[in-house]
Amino acid sequence: MRRTRVEKRHGIQISVPHVRNTRVGSDPPGRVCIDVKDGVVLVGGDGHYWPGEASTAHRAFVKFCKTLKPQVIVMNGDAFDGAKISRHPPIGWENRPDVIDEMEAVQERLGEIEKAFKCRKVWTLGNHDSRFETRLATVATEYARVHGFHLKDHFPNWEACWSCWINGDVVIKHRGPKGGTHATHNNTVASGKTMVTNHLHSLKVTPYSDYNGDRYGVDCGTLADPNGPQFLDYSEDNPKNHRSGFAVLTFRGGKLLWPEIVAVVDSETVQFRGELIRV
């Protein structure tokens, strides 16, 4: 935005190193663009919120919202699980919550985040979130565009989008173009950007360097308990390479510092910057 103002004021065009000049008059549909010069962006996702007690990672996320005072909070997809409206058939006679029970659980948990610290809040939608509208669009097409039939209608304090771009070179979205074990590496290589994703629940940072400098592939893990009821029958008690936690992105002078991870240690403790923090 500052660059655009200077260009208009002086009638010049400023070339940006290593970035193709693809700016247009407005952000592309489905994208939220934010400038952060100095500050913190908290990114958590895959809450898969069901009725019941809040997970350790969620309680830590709320605590960090209060203590770090971020400029932006991003819920990086799949706060809503949609267990009963999945395209997959039930596994045996598993007990899955109704949509209304899940919706109230999501509202309660996101409400706790909203109360923790007032700042800009973005919800990058995930594949489980999409179940809400996909189901309605399939069985009740006549209700298109009616208020309440979109998931975002129930969460007016959150900006819904597919991706959130910070300073034009950090892309936060639920899942990137690549998947699998090496998704963090492959996403940042394929996109040419720092890619901050969820979806795979793996909780890790993968650096990548080339002629353009350093960038990162970040997986923000899951705000849910990997051994919670949401995943019990689905995983068939197989080992899961999942970790509970979230990411802290710190910017100085508009540049992203090395992304940091907050990881759950046990039911009452998380680790961050070499410290054990009770939540």
- What is the token pair recorded at 213? 């400098």
The pLDDT assigned to 21 comes to 42
The helix (H) or strand (E) run that includes residue 188 is helix 183-191
The pLDDT assigned to 19 comes to 43
Q: Are 251 and 164 in contact (CB under 8 A)?
A: no
| Block mean pLDDT (10 aa), the chain, length 279 | 83 63 66 97 98 97 98 98 89 88 98 97 97 93 92 96 97 96 97 97 97 96 96 88 97 97 98 97
The DSSP call for residue 14 is P
The pLDDT assigned to 16 comes to 63
The pLDDT assigned to 94 comes to 80
Count of helices and strands (H, E) across the chain: 6, 15
Question: What are the start-end ranges of the E strands in 12-96?
Answer: 31-34, 39-44, 72-75
The pLDDT assigned to 17 comes to 56
Q: Are 47 and 129 in contact (CB under 8 A)?
A: no
Cα 179 to Cα 245: distance, rounded to the nearest angstrom = 20
Of 237, 264, 273, give the one whose Cα is nearest residue 58: 264
The number of CA neighbours under 13 Å toward the Cβ of 147 is 3
- In 10 A of CB 5, how many CB atoms? 9
- In 10 A of CB 231, how many CB atoms? 18
